[in-house]
Structure 1
Amino acid sequence: MGTQEVLGQAARLASSGLLLQVLFRLVTFVLNAFILHYLSKETVGVVNVRLMLLYSTIIFLAREAFRRACLSGGAQRDWNQTFNLLWLTVPLGVFWSLILGYIWLQLLEVPNPSVVPYYGTGVLLFALSAVVELLGEPFWVLAQTHLFVRFKVIAESLSVIFRSLLIAFLVLCLPHWGLYIFSLAQLLSSTVLVLCYVTYFAKLLGFPESTRQQTLPVSRLTDLLPNVTRSRAFINWKEAKLTWSFFKQSFLKQILTEGERYVMTFLNVLNFGDQGVYDTVNNLGSLVARLIFQPIEESFYIFFAKVLERGKQATLQKQDDVALAAAVLESLLKLALLTGLTITVFGFAYSQLALDIYGGTMLSSGSGPVLLRSYCVYVLLLAVNGVTECFMFAAMSKEAVDRYNFTLLALSSSFLVLSYLLTRWCGSVGFILANCFNMGIRITQSLCFIHRYYQGSPHRPLAGLSLSPVLLGVFVLSGGVTGVSEAFLCCEQGWPARLAHVAVGAFCLGVTLGTAFLTETKLIHFLRTQLGGSRLVNKRT
Structure 2
Amino acid sequence: MGSREVLGQAARLASSGLLLQMLFRLITFVLNAFVLRFLSKEIVGIVNVRLTLLYSTTLFLAREAFRRACLSGAAKRDWSQTVSLLWLTVPLGVFWSLFLGWVWLQLLEVPDPHVVPHYGTGVVVFGFSAVVELLGEPFWVLAQAHMFVRLKVIAESLSVILKSVLTALLVLWLPHWGLYIFSLAQLSYTTVLVLCYVIYFAKVLGSPESAKQQALPVSSMTDLLPSMTRSRVSNAFVNWEEAKLTWSFFKQSFLKQILTEGERYVMTFLNVLNFGDQGVYDIVNNLGSLVARLIFQPIEESFYIFFAKVLEREKDATLQKQEDVAVAAAVLESLLKLALLTGLTITVFGFAYSQLVLDIYGGAMLSSGSGPVLLRAYCLYVLLLAINGVTECFTFAAMSKEEVDSVGFILANCFNMGIRITQSLYFIHRYYQKSPHRPLAGLFLSPVLLGTFALSGGITAISEVFLCCEWGWLARLAHVAVGALCLGVTLGTAFLTETKLIHFLRTQLGVPRLADKTT
TM range (shorter): over 0.9
Aligned residues of 1:18 and 1:295 also touching (Cα < 8 A) = yes
Aligned residues of 1:213 and 1:219 also touching (Cα < 8 A) = no
Aligned residues of 2:412 and 2:420 also touching (Cα < 8 A) = no
- Give, as a single letter, the amino acid of the residue that structure 2 aligns with 1:513: L
- Give, as a single letter, the amino acid of the residue that structure 2 aligns with 1:125: V
- Give, as a single letter, the amino acid of the residue that structure 2 aligns with 1:408: I
Greater mean deviation of Cα atoms: 332-341 or 203-212: 203-212
- In 2, Cα distance between equivalents of 1:169 and 1:456: 60
1:19 matched to 2:19? The reply is yes
Following superposition, the deviation at residue 28 of structure 1 comes to 3.0
1:373 matched to 2:376? The reply is yes
Q: Equivalent residue for 2:196?
A: 196
- In 2, Cα distance between equivalents of 1:326 and 1:380: 21
Q: Let me know the Cα RMSD of the aligned residues.
A: 2.0
Q: Equivalent residue for 1:408?
A: 410
1:59 matched to 2:62? The reply is no
Matches within 5 A, 1:353-372: 353-372=356-375
1:526 matched to 2:492? The reply is no
Deviations 1:156-196 (A, max 9, x none): 23322222222221112111111111112111111111111
Aligned residues of 1:32 and 1:164 also touching (Cα < 8 A) = no
Q: Equivalent residue for 1:499?
A: 477
Q: Relative to structure 1, is the Cα distance of residues 211 and 85 closer, same or farther in structure 2, using a 3 angstrom cutoff?
A: closer
- Give, as a single letter, the amino acid of the residue that structure 1 aligns with 2:410: L
Following superposition, the deviation at residue 137 of structure 1 comes to 0.3
- Give, as a single letter, the amino acid of the residue that structure 2 aligns with 1:179: L
Greater mean deviation of Cα atoms: 83-92 or 313-322: 313-322
Q: Equivalent residue for 2:338?
A: 335
Matches within 5 A, 1:251-400: 251-400=254-403
Q: Equivalent residue for 2:489?
A: 511
- Give, as a single letter, the amino acid of the residue that structure 1 aligns with 2:219: S
Following superposition, the deviation at residue 499 of structure 1 comes to 2.1
Greater mean deviation of Cα atoms: 469-478 or 223-232: 223-232
SS at the partner of 2:209? Answer: coil
- Give, as a single letter, the amino acid of the residue that structure 2 aligns with 1:46: I
- In 2, Cα distance between equivalents of 1:285 and 1:158: 26
Give the alignment partner of residue 247 of structure 2, picking from 244, 253, 261. Answer: 244
Aligned residues of 1:160 and 1:189 also touching (Cα < 8 A) = yes
Deviations 1:298-324 (A, max 9, x none): 111111111111122212222222121
Give the alignment partner of residue 479 of structure 1, picking from 454, 457, 460. Answer: 457
Following superposition, the deviation at residue 211 of structure 1 comes to 7.0
Unmatched 5+ stretches in structure 2: none
Deviations 1:381-410 (A, max 9, x none): 000000000000011000111115x64356
Following superposition, the deviation at residue 91 of structure 1 comes to 0.6
Q: Relative to structure 1, is the Cα distance of residues 355 and 230 closer, same or farther in structure 2, using a 3 angstrom cutoff?
A: closer
- Give, as a single letter, the amino acid of the residue that structure 2 aligns with 1:506: A
Following superposition, the deviation at residue 223 of structure 1 comes to 2.1
- Give, as a single letter, the amino acid of the residue that structure 1 aligns with 2:326: A
Q: Equivalent residue for 1:427?
A: none
**TM-score by structure 1 length?**
0.91
Aligned residues of 1:37 and 1:359 also touching (Cα < 8 A) = no
Aligned residues of 2:39 and 2:175 also touching (Cα < 8 A) = no
Q: Relative to structure 1, is the Cα distance of residues 210 and 268 closer, same or farther in structure 2, using a 3 angstrom cutoff?
A: same
Q: Relative to structure 1, is the Cα distance of residues 499 and 156 closer, same or farther in structure 2, using a 3 angstrom cutoff?
A: same
Following superposition, the deviation at residue 294 of structure 1 comes to 0.8
- In 2, Cα distance between equivalents of 1:190 and 1:362: 33
Q: Equivalent residue for 1:129?
A: 129
Q: Equivalent residue for 2:432?
A: 454
Q: Equivalent residue for 2:45?
A: 45
SS at the partner of 1:209? Answer: helix
Q: Relative to structure 1, is the Cα distance of residues 385 and 338 closer, same or farther in structure 2, using a 3 angstrom cutoff?
A: same
- In 1, Cα distance between equivalents of 2:87 and 2:220: 17
- In 1, Cα distance between equivalents of 2:122 and 2:74: 41
- In 2, Cα distance between equivalents of 1:212 and 1:334: 39
- Give, as a single letter, the amino acid of the residue that structure 1 aligns with 2:116: V
Following superposition, the deviation at residue 539 of structure 1 comes to 9.5
- In 1, Cα distance between equivalents of 2:119 and 2:473: 40
Deviations 1:270-329 (A, max 9, x none): 222222111111111111111110111111111111111112221222222212111111
Deviations 1:121-173 (A, max 9, x none): 11111111111110110111011001011221331233222222222211121
Q: Equivalent residue for 1:143?
A: 143
- Give, as a single letter, the amino acid of the residue that structure 2 aligns with 1:492: E
- In 2, Cα distance between equivalents of 1:250 and 1:398: 14
- In 2, Cα distance between equivalents of 1:219 and 1:176: 49
- In 2, Cα distance between equivalents of 1:8 and 1:300: 10
Matches within 5 A, 1:180-195: 180-195=180-195
- In 1, Cα distance between equivalents of 2:487 and 2:336: 20
Q: What is the aligned residue count?
A: 516
- In 2, Cα distance between equivalents of 1:317 and 1:145: 21
- Give, as a single letter, the amino acid of the residue that structure 2 aligns with 1:12: R
- Give, as a single letter, the amino acid of the residue that structure 2 aligns with 1:264: M
Q: Relative to structure 1, is the Cα distance of residues 191 and 330 closer, same or farther in structure 2, using a 3 angstrom cutoff?
A: same
Aligned residues of 1:304 and 1:391 also touching (Cα < 8 A) = yes
Deviations 1:326-384 (A, max 9, x none): 11111110000000000111111111121222223322222111111110000000000
Deviations 1:189-217 (A, max 9, x none): 11111111112222223333337754112
Aligned residues of 2:159 and 2:193 also touching (Cα < 8 A) = yes
- Give, as a single letter, the amino acid of the residue that structure 2 aligns with 1:242: L
Q: Relative to structure 1, is the Cα distance of residues 169 and 377 closer, same or farther in structure 2, using a 3 angstrom cutoff?
A: same
- Give, as a single letter, the amino acid of the residue that structure 1 aligns with 2:166: L
Among all aligned residue pairs of Structure 1 and Structure 2, give the percentage whose two residues are the same amino acid. 83
Q: Equivalent residue for 1:430?
A: none
Greater mean deviation of Cα atoms: 264-273 or 150-159: 150-159
